[in-house]
Amino acid sequence: MTFEVKYKDLLGRVGRFSVGNKILETPALLPVVNPRTLDIPPKELLNEFGYRGLMTNSYILHTHLAAEVEEKGVHRLLDYDGIIMTDSGAYQILRYGKVSISPLEILEFQKRIKTDIGVILDIPTGGHVTQSYAEYTVNETMKRAEEATRHMGDEKVLWTGPVQGGTYIDLVAISARRMAKLPFDLYALGSPTEIMEQYHFDVLVEMVMAAKRNLPPQKPLHLFGAGHPLIFSFAVAMGCDLFDSAAYALFAKEDRYITETGTVKLKNLEYFPCLCPACRKQTPAEVKKQPKTEREQFLMRHNLYICRGEIDRVKQAVSEGRLWELLELRARAHPSLLTALQTLGRHNAELERHTPTYKPRGIFILGDTAIQRPEILSHERHLLHNYQKPKNAETLLLLPQTSSKPFHTSPEYKKVKKALRDAAVNLRQLHICFYTTPFGVVPIELDEIYPLSQFETVHPPTAEMRLRAVEAVGEYLTVHHYEEVLLHADPTLLDLKALGNLKKRTPLKEITRSRDPWSKRAISRIQKALKTA
């Protein structure tokens, strides 16, 4: 197996995952196929929908089609040339409590049917269980994993090590650390389905992050049962490279129509908000009149197109460095997703560590959630811990952000420069910085560094962003000391109450306050203040 990464953003990555001579671009969704029904022929999943990988259940194959699949191999049986991943029957354990096969038997069976990616028979934790039971699932899964490594052999099967622990985050971390010591080709997080079905996406964030930080970063991570496309961008942002879903078929059987941000009952649709090949051919009224089997076929095909489209949308966001912005858009689809985004933001140190310092596109600041973006936090951290102000600077002049960027080339700043020349100000002792939302303090000598001139933000900023701007100024003044600090205040950018408190505990002096900070009157006040400084 080789796994090559092409693009990165947050913990997400676009890469190439090879199994023998087959290549799967990640992140990739593997549609779950029931080998007994084959509602959508697997060949069509590849040729029509572009899914180069799928998942099927080796336990169902063993129970109902053992002789045929062992004779033909799983690829010929399903008539599918892409990458096949086979689950081991753990889902049946979760649903029915047990399976009638041993871990070693199902492992050897997956070898014989020549699957591409196999999964050991673990014990899934599930959702609402006691801690003692969760500990049992972790320990039993580890015993089975250790036993499996002695029997995996040299066959051309990639093996998956499942991480368990459920909602007990400390157990997920322990399980991941222990599993990481074993020679699996990829790893998977188990037991998220119930959590996602109940929209506890913040819990899912903690589960995935606990697993991801304790697993080898160079190996792919699979998320079992990812389900709905509204969670795909979050899964990728947390470092999941593969995920499977049967939602396209399960929702179709319930007459549910998937969109990027939710599901809609077919009976409630007057129009199809989609231009996929399935939706272009028929109207909701026509589909509603069809027999159930035809409706299900229509809905499955539409759902597959929507899921594939969202995967490509996530890949494009990663390639452009705009994955956080996609998360912000998806977070508006449901309050639980917004909570999940806020939870993910608390892992900002990990996100920052894996986010590129330079991106091919500028960034959009869409509101308060952007305050947690890695690019912003990285600037603040470097400014406080790595930056050194000019050696001879005794006076700091804080100017508001200008209408164009870089700030030092803007027409507004040119007015200030002229005023400084006219006042014969000693520029060697003067340090000029801009305060911005959301980056806080931006020294003039740094304002061309990415992304300080490569962003667009909401205006006027929100109350939270104005408060953060004042806090950022305070943090800067705590670390970098000046004899005099002169503030040219733009009240649309600053929280005035917080500014009043800041002036009480720092040498900050407000020399002027104006909603038109670049007027002739405002500039003259700057000039006058610097003459007497």
Closest to 398 in 3D by CA, of 347, 452, 443, 349: 443
Q: Which residue has the tokens 């272009």?
A: 280
> Taking CA 202 as the corner, what is the angle to CA 201 and CA 206, rounded to the nearest 5 degrees?
115
Cis bond upstream, residue 284 (ω within 30): no
Strands 53-57 vs 430-436: parallel, antiparallel or unpaired: unpaired
- Give residue for tokens 């699949």: 69
Query: Tokens at residue 48, please?
Result: 């029509």
Backbone angles phi, psi at 264, to 5 degrees: -130, 135
If residue 80 lies in a helix (H) or strand (E), which one and from where to where? none
> How many Å apart are CA 194 and CA 227, to the nearest integer?
11
**Any residues with CB less than 8 A from the CB of 167 and at least 6 apart, and which?**
127, 195, 203, 207
Residue ranges in 244-291 assigned as alpha helix (H): 247-253, 277-281, 284-288
Nearest-angstrom CA–CA distance, 166 and 175: 10
Exposure on the CB side of residue 422, measured as CA atoms within 13 A:
11
Query: Among positive and negative, which fits the CA dihedral 141, 142, 143, 145?
Result: positive
Q: Rounded distance, CA 9 to CA 373, Å? A: 11
What is the amino acid identity at position 195? I
Count of CB atoms situated within 10 Å of the CB of 292: 9
Radius of gyration of the chain (CA): 28
Q: Exactly one of 87, 116, 447, 490 is catalytic; name it.
A: 87
Tokens of 413: 């700043």
User: What single-letter DSSP state applies at residue 268?
Assistant: G
CA–CA dist 314, 503 (Å, integer): 45
- The candidate with the shortest Cα–Cα distance to 103, out of 54, 64, 142, is 142
255 is annotated as an active-site residue = no
The DSSP letter of residue 97 is: S
SS3 461: coil
Amino acid letter, residue 416: V
Can you state the angle between helices 463-479 and 374-385, rounded to 10 degrees?
20
Catalytic positions: 87
